Amino acid sequence: MTEDTADLSPADRAKRAAARRSVDFVRDGMKLGLGTGSTAVFMVRALAERVAAQGMDVTCVPTSEATARLAGGLGLRLSTLDAVGRLDLTIDGTDEFDPRLDLIKGGGGAHLREKIVATASDRMIVIADPAKQVATLGAFPLPLEVVEFGWQVTRRLVAELLADHDLLGQTVALRMAGDAPARTDQGNLILDLHLGRIGDARALSLALNQIPGVVENGLFLDICDMVIVGHPDGRVDIHGAHGIVAPGQDTTDGIENLFRDADA
- Residue stretches of the annotated binding site: 36-39, 92-95, 105-108, 132
Considering the candidates 114, 145, 160, 216, report the single residue annotated as catalytic. Answer: 114
SS3 71: helix
The CA distance from 210 to 217, in Å, is: 11
| Closest C-alpha among 145, 144, 63, 142 to residue 104 | 142
CA distances from 192 to 49, 51, 158, 181 (A): 35, 37, 11, 12
Is 114 one of the annotated active-site residues of the chain?
Answer: yes
Is residue 239 within 8 Å of residue 227, measured between CB atoms? yes
Between helix 38-54 and helix 10-22 the angle, nearest 10°, is 40
Is residue 197 within 8 Å of residue 168, measured between CB atoms? yes
The CA distance from 143 to 108, in Å, is: 9
Contacts of 135 (CB under 8 A, 6+ apart): 98, 99
Radius of gyration of the chain (CA): 18
Q: State the CB neighbour count (10 A cutoff) for residue 250.
A: 12
The CA distance from 229 to 102, in Å, is: 14
CA distances from 14 to 37, 38, 127, 218 (A): 14, 12, 10, 23
Active site residues: 114
